[in-house]
A and B are shown apart, each in its own frame.
Chain A
């Protein structure tokens, strides 16, 4: 789903955010131009990125845009998953490891053993919304338990009344992402309780717009997708609030950014190999580019941008990297 959105974006040659290619900078014709741009040596080399498939579209998007300014840099973005990515990262095989969660102690120990020093940088916020038809006036708030009963393997919930006797006897038509999507992994992990476990008799599509169309056209339907799709289709979809144990919370940019929309919001990360920051001239410029253009990149990849506080944290961490005595 997000992968598709990304592919579309990449086809369009959008004006570069942040900085244009070096050639567009005002070059000093003589040393005497007091404001003239410096001649830049083009960056080169390869950057190897792997990890979370959820984060991949953001980094692929960033890489495409970065290459407009630095065509000499080759960036590969793998999708081995967060855990698989860390395995490769901690063996020193990659420069950046995308992660939809923080690094775990065991993974840290492996990194440590191999002398790989990771630098954690948040890059975006991820929020999933549970959506229903605008005419649905009963499912204003659903608990995690109710969502689990709907979506778990072997679920017998076929009508809304099966979920709550006060709900109408209306069929639930389910829409959601296919099994290759990071959204699917995330939703099944925090709602069903195990990543990848889900009932299979639902309308699955990697194209989020299919979910949007399905839910907006049938009164009894329910689906889930990234928050940005809800925001872009607010007239056609209605969000159910989610009760993660602390009461009903609506998905909004704010509740996703501050984490109060539980359990369907989370920060997304990339981990940088600190030594590679020294060794690979393109790595730090790429990360700076990501952080400088984060709001635009995050929105482009259908995520929720970071708050200024989150950005400050990531930026200062990157600035401090390698400079400590």
Chain B
């Protein structure tokens, strides 16, 4: 499945660039699930997808709680596949529940969240102080849930015996806007005079955004003369078929294709570190690993459907991150999320 890393964001807004999208503009509701996934994958229409009960199915009632109604989530397109996968399995379980997942970007999501427009805000970075101020001034308290880990892998061809480890400076030299590096020899003296063939995600991807920000120093600043595809499998095939190939994509795509590619370690100043589930979870793999978050409005825990969805995300964290091609939580990260949920559900009448 490839939709994960190719999600398009309609608005990659920072905090200073409010989204112009009407609130309901990017929500599709009531689409059959298969269709939905397909559209997500193939047409790249950037849409938050509403997963909804299709027909008149009674709301699930368990433990005296009727789980029905709407949950609104918006924010990072990188986190969206996770929230989306969770929304789908939640919708299957509770037919009267409906979760809409927008993709206004992390900043745009917080803007809506702190206006009280959404219950959940998906974020590929922690909330900024300026955003937190706005939230609290509006009386919106929240809880930060870490839901998954994200890491970008750099890969080369199986026959590449030289590029075991690249420094962040070398990566910048290769990938920055205006780069003329087109042979491995230009990357580092001693590398062979092998033409460099670059593969990477398209500009609508959260992975592109993250990589360019961390490597080139500015989000979306990148050379453009590389083989770009929103389909990570195209990138895998490309690097696997070119002796001089170099590409980047989410770690899970490497792990699924480990026999066809060589992994490159990254040196950000403290030695070479290879991306792995462990080094991404611990953030030792710098600078290309990060946490993915869902911020939940405290007051929204008073609505059973929101509380149940948060619980569902935590309970099903592992299969959901597999579906969404993300690195799962560690035991202690998961334990923390569970503690946070317990605290929230217990205190919700006070919120």
Residues of A within 8 A of B (CB): 18-20, 22, 24-26, 29, 31-41, 278, 281, 284-285, 308-309, 312-313, 315-316, 319-320, 322-325
Contacts and interface: CB of A to CB of B under 8 A. Distances in A.
A172 B1 CA distance: 82
11 contacts: A19-B343, A25-B342, A34-B67, A38-B315, A40-B335, A41-B335, A284-B336, A316-B128, A319-B144, A324-B125, A324-B283
Contact of A308 (B136, B290, B308, B341): B136
Contacts of A313: 129
B95 interface: no
Given A34-B60, A34-B311, A319-B144, A24 B346 contact: yes
Contact of B336 (A18, A37, A285, A325): A285
**Interface of chain A: mostly helix, strand, loop or mixed:** loop
Interface string B329-343: 000100110110111
A54 to B, nearest CB: 26
B53 to A, nearest CB: 15
A319 B127 contact: yes
Nearest to A24: B346
Given A285-B339, A324-B283, A35 B144 contact: no
Contact-residue bracket for chain B: 35 or more
B297 interface: no
A48 to B, nearest CB: 19
Contacts of B224: none
A25 B287 contact: no
Contacts of B307: 35
A18 B340 CA distance: 11
B62 interface: yes
Contacts of B288: 325
B289 A325 contact: yes
Nearest to B295: A319
A322 B133 CA distance: 21
Contacts of A37: 341-342, 345-346
B171 to A, nearest CB: 13
B322 interface: no
Contacts, number: 102
B346 A26 contact: yes
Contacts of B132: 312, 315-316
- Which of B67, B288, B336, B342 has the most chain A CB atoms inside 10 A of its CB? B342
Given A26-B346, A40-B342, A323-B291, A32 B283 contact: no
A78 to B, nearest CB: 26
B345 A26 contact: yes
Interface in B39-96: 60, 62-63, 65, 67, 94
B308 A18 contact: no
A184 to B, nearest CB: 35
Contacts of A29: 63
Nearest to A25: B342
Contacts of A34: 60, 62-63, 65, 67, 94, 304, 308, 311-312
A38 B343 contact: no
B271 to A, nearest CB: 13
Interface string B280-323: 00110011111101000000000010011001101100000000
A195 B125 CA distance: 43
Interface string B170-187: 000000000000000000
Interface in B191-224: 210, 214
A322 B289 CA distance: 11
Contacts of A33: 62-63, 65
Contacts of B144: 319
Contacts of B289: 325
Nearest to A317: B129
Given A40-B338, A325-B289, 9 more contacts: A25-B346, A33-B62, A36-B311, A38-B341, A309-B133, A316-B129, A323-B293, A324-B290, A325-B288
Given A18-B343, A19-B347, A325-B286, A35 B338 contact: no
Nearest to B291: A323
Given A32-B63, A35-B311, A312-B133, A323 B126 contact: yes
